[in-house]
């Protein structure tokens, strides 16, 4: 069916898969037990801002919604590629509320018809030794991959592959390594 | 509930289907004619044309890269370009094509390859210099749509009959001319017939090509959510195209069908024979997508 649509030149941007994101809290427990990495309480959502007033409205609404709970304010930044990042913060021990915040952003954009604009979400982790990495959730694939920056332009591939091994049983990990894109510019990492 | 702002253009799909149907009809009638008035040269010529077409499709990435003197670049050599394509591919849920840069001043981009897994997206240094980030992204999403739509395969199949008929026109004498007494129809009929087939299939493939450009614009604009950036890239490039010396252009001609903007002056070729729709039509479509995207929710 997808092939048929494509051959007739009607490919549409795929809808985002929002559900697999909820695999995060239980995977985080496994991660802590196996490797000592814990969540830092920072998560971010990355999306492509569409032109026009409708997107502006949807974006403002979701920011107001998240700021209404009295917790830390949501930060909005734009990276060098023109993608927008919304950074949510919560108590590091309460990963589920962080995931709920991220989900609120996702569903608000989806309801406004901008689900296809979602690129990825990041939840960052750190261990006692100060090493950091993020679990990146790809909306279109519905899979996760670990991203461990090592300096500004290098990746710690060994750590990434180690995390892949630990988490494989807990959550869908992106099997195609070429899709583990680098997101050095992600805020809150 | 989840809603989508994507609207497929039913009229465009209908027109494209009609053209494909006409081409299919042409194929069937040519094969039927061959079956009725069969002699040895018919199947042989078709086999030759098929081999040619399959070769051109299978090696399309290498051929186009050679012709444009394009060089594949790694993520370390062109991090911005790779990062942009990484993100677009993640948004479109498609495999990442290889990335190449051609060192020429003609501002253009093309995508080719036998399947999405074996494709390459190439941009010229001229386009990199002229466009800003959002415009370049629009161009890349247009090219990625060509990859997703398998345009190289579709256009090779569509053009196959034209190649076969062209072969008859040029070399028919060697294949069929010598056996006039044995063949069921005089050679001149075959020759005129193939000329007609060639002309009709040429026109139809050009129409198809224009429709597929519009489709690629459409899908690309929805992917980035910025139709106006693509429109501004088109205007910039089309303005530049007219001012480019013709020598470069003739070299690039063979690949016009897969190009972002055709490397020809539009005045010099009738709109009927053009591989790309007129600029005004492309801009009009992008403007209507733009208003769709800014429509208030509910």
The predicted pLDDT at position A65 comes to 85
Instruction: Report CB contact under 8 Å: A6, B294.
Output: no
Instruction: Report CB contact under 8 Å: A10, B225.
Output: no
Instruction: Report CB contact under 8 Å: A52, B215.
Output: no
Instruction: Report CB contact under 8 Å: B225, A81.
Output: no
Q: With contacts defined as CB-CB under 8 Å, which chain A residues touch B294?
A: 51-55
Spatial CB neighbours of B38, under 8 Å, sequence gap ≥ 6: B184
Q: With contacts defined as CB-CB under 8 Å, which chain A residues touch B218?
A: 9
Q: Put residue A156 in one of left, alpha, beta given phi > 0 → left and psi -120 to 50 → alpha.
A: beta
Instruction: Report CB contact under 8 Å: A117, B225.
Output: yes
| Residue-by-residue pLDDT tens, chain A, 189 positions | 677 777 777 777 788 888 888 999 899 999 999 999 999 999 999 999 898 888 988 888 888 888 887 777 888 999 889 899 999 888 888 888 889 889 988 888 888 888 888 999 999 999 988 888 999 999 989 999 999 998 777 888 999 999 999 999 889 999 988 889 989 888 877
| Mutation choice for B interface testing from A13, A114, A178 by most B CBs within 10 A | A13
The predicted pLDDT at position B178 comes to 46
pLDDT lower than 70: segments of chain B: 1-7, 34-43, 45, 169-186, 240-273, 297-298
Residue B135, token pair as written in the block: 């415009």
The predicted pLDDT at position B177 comes to 47
The predicted pLDDT at position B261 comes to 62
Q: Put residue B274 in one of left, alpha, beta given phi > 0 → left and psi -120 to 50 → alpha.
A: beta
- The Cα-based distances of B286 to B17, B93, B237 in angstroms read 22, 23, 16
Q: Which of B143, B267, B280, B284 is catalytic?
A: B143
Q: What is the pTM of this model?
A: 0.83
> What is the per-residue DSSP string for chain B?
---------HHHHHHHHHHHHHHHHHHHHHHHHHHHT--THHHHHHHHHHHHHHHHHHTHHHHHHHHTTEEE--TTT-HHHHHHHHHHHHHHT-PPPEEEEE--SS--EEEEESSGGGEEEEEEHHHHHHS-HHHHHHHHHHHHHHHHTTHHHHHHHHHHHHHHHHHHHHHHHHHHGGGTTTSSS-HHHHHHHHHHHHHHHHHHHHHHHHHHHHHHHHHHHHHHT-HHHHHHHHHHHHHHHTTS-HHHHHHHGGGGGGBSS-SS-GGGS-GGG-SS--HHHHHHHHHHHHHHHHSPP-
Spatial CB neighbours of B31, under 8 Å, sequence gap ≥ 6: none
The predicted pLDDT at position A162 comes to 92
Cβ(B98)–Cβ(B52) below 8 Å: no
The predicted pLDDT at position B244 comes to 47
The predicted pLDDT at position A47 comes to 92
Instruction: Report CB contact under 8 Å: B90, A58.
Output: no
Cβ(B57)–Cβ(B156) below 8 Å: yes
Q: With contacts defined as CB-CB under 8 Å, which chain A residues touch B215?
A: 8-10
Q: How far is B32 from chain A (nearest CA, A)?
A: 26
In eight-state DSSP terms, residue A175 is S
| Mutation choice for B interface testing from A9, A81, A154 by most B CBs within 10 A | A9
The predicted pLDDT at position B268 comes to 46
Instruction: Report CB contact under 8 Å: B96, A83.
Output: no
Report ipTM (2 d.p.). 0.87
Residue A100, token pair as written in the block: 């709920």
Q: What are phi and psi of B94, to 5 degrees?
A: -135, 155
Q: How far is A38 from chain B (nearest CA, A)?
A: 27
The predicted pLDDT at position B250 comes to 44
A50, A80, A120 member nearest B293 (Cβ): A50
Half-sphere exposure of A44 (CA within 13 A, CB side): 23
A13, A53, A112 member nearest B6 (Cβ): A13
Query: Is B143 a catalytic site residue?
Result: yes
């Amino acid at each position: 069916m997808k092939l048929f649509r494509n051959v007739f030149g009607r490919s549409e941007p795929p809808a985002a898969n929002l559900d697999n994101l909820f695999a995060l809290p239980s995977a985080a427990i496994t991660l802590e037990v196996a490797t000592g990495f814990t969540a830092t309480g920072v998560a971010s959502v990355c999306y492509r801002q569409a032109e026009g007033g409708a997107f502006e409205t949807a974006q403002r609404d979701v920011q107001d919604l998240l700021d209404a709970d009295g917790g830390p304010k949501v930060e909005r930044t734009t990276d060098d590629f023109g993608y927008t990042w919304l950074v949510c913060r919560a108590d590091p021990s309460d990963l589920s509320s962080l995931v709920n915040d991220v989900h609120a952003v996702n569903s608000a954009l989806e309801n406004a018809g901008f689900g296809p604009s979602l690129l990825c979400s990041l939840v960052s982790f750190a261990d006692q030794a100060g090493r950091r990495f993020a679990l990146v959730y790809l909306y279109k694939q519905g899979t996760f991959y670990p991203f461990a920056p090592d300096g500004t332009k290098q990746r710690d591939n060994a750590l990434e592959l180690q995390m892949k091994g630990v988490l494989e049983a807990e959550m869908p990990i992106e099997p195609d390594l070429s899709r583990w894109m680098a997101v050095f510019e992600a805020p809150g990492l | 509930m989840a809603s989508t702002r994507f609207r497929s253009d039913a009229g465009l799909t209908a027109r494209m289907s009609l053209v494909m149907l006409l081409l299919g009809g042409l194929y069937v009638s040519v094969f039927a004619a061959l079956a009725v008035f069969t002699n040895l040269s018919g199947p042989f010529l078709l086999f030759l044309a098929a081999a040619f077409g399959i070769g051109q499709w299978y090696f399309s990435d290498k051929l186009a890269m050679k012709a444009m003197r394009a060089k594949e670049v790694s993520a370390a050599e062109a991090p911005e370009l790779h990062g942009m394509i990484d993100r677009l591919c993640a948004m479109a849920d498609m495999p990442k094509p290889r990335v190449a840069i051609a060192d020429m001043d003609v501002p253009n981009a093309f995508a080719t390859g036998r399947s999405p897994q074996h494709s390459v997206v190439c941009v010229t240094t001229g386009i990199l210099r002229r466009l800003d980030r959002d415009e370049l992204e629009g161009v890349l999403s247009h090219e990625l749509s060509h990859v997703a739509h398998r345009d190289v395969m579709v256009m090779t199949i569509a053009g196959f009959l034209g190649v076969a008929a062209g072969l008859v026109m040029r070399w028919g004498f060697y294949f069929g001319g010598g056996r006039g007494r044995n063949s069921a129809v005089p050679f001149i009929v075959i020759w005129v017939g193939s000329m007609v087939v060639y002309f009709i299939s040429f026109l139809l493939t050009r129409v198809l090509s224009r429709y597929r450009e519009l489709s690629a614009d459409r899908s690309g604009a929805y992917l980035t959510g910025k139709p106006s950036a693509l429109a501004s890239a088109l205007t910039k490039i089309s303005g530049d195209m007219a001012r480019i010396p013709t020598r470069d252009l003739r070299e690039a001609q063979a690949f016009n069908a897969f190009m972002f903007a055709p490397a020809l002056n539009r005045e010099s070729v009738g709109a009927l024979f053009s591989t790309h729709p007129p600029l005004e039509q492309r801009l009009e479509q992008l403007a209507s997508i733009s208003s769709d995207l800014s429509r208030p929710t509910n």
